[in-house]
Amino acid sequence: QSVLTQPPSVSGAPGQRVTISCTGSSSNIGAGYDVHWYQQLPGTAPKLLIYGNSNRPSGVPDRFSGSKSGTSASLAITGLQAEDEADYYCQSYDSSLVVFGGGTKLTVL
């Protein structure tokens, strides 16, 4: 089982807003470590989507946003588009080692 817990799947219609949660504990997210998010389109390598809890790399639309509170973090996607259909992973640290969430499959209805 993953150290960070994500819902296996979420879905939404085009134009809607969806959120993906990432729940950890006091030894990882709750210890103050940053949370990063990655998007993985089918058959491709993961791509950095959000870094340092809430920052977007250059080129990532502002429809994507991240937040962190306590032992959890969230990724929000507004104005859902068909091309957002992908797997999303959160990543943080536990005892200074890298840990990933189990991943969430986003389906655009």
Partner 1 sequence: QVQLVQSGAEVKKPGSSVKVSCKASGGTFSSYAISWVRQAPGQGLEWMGGIIPIFGTANYAQKFQGRVTITTDESTSTAYMELSSLRSEDTAVYYCARSYYYGSGTLDNFDLWGRGTLVTVSS
**Could you say whether residue 32 binds partner 1 (CB under 8 A)?**
no
Name the β-bridge partners of 18: 77
Q: Which of residues 73-102 bind partner 1 (CB under 8 A)?
A: 87, 89, 91, 93, 96-102
DSSP string, 29-54: GGGT---EEEEE-TTS--EEEEBTTT
**Minimum CB–partner distance for residue 97 and partner 1 (Å):** 6
Closer to partner 1 by CB, 16 or 107: give it: 107
**Could you say whether residue 52 binds partner 1 (CB under 8 A)?**
yes
What the block records as the tokens of 83 is 């091309």
**Could you say whether residue 57 binds partner 1 (CB under 8 A)?**
yes
Name the residues that contact partner 1, by CB under 8 A: 2, 33-34, 36, 38, 40, 44-48, 51-52, 57, 87, 89, 91, 93, 96-103
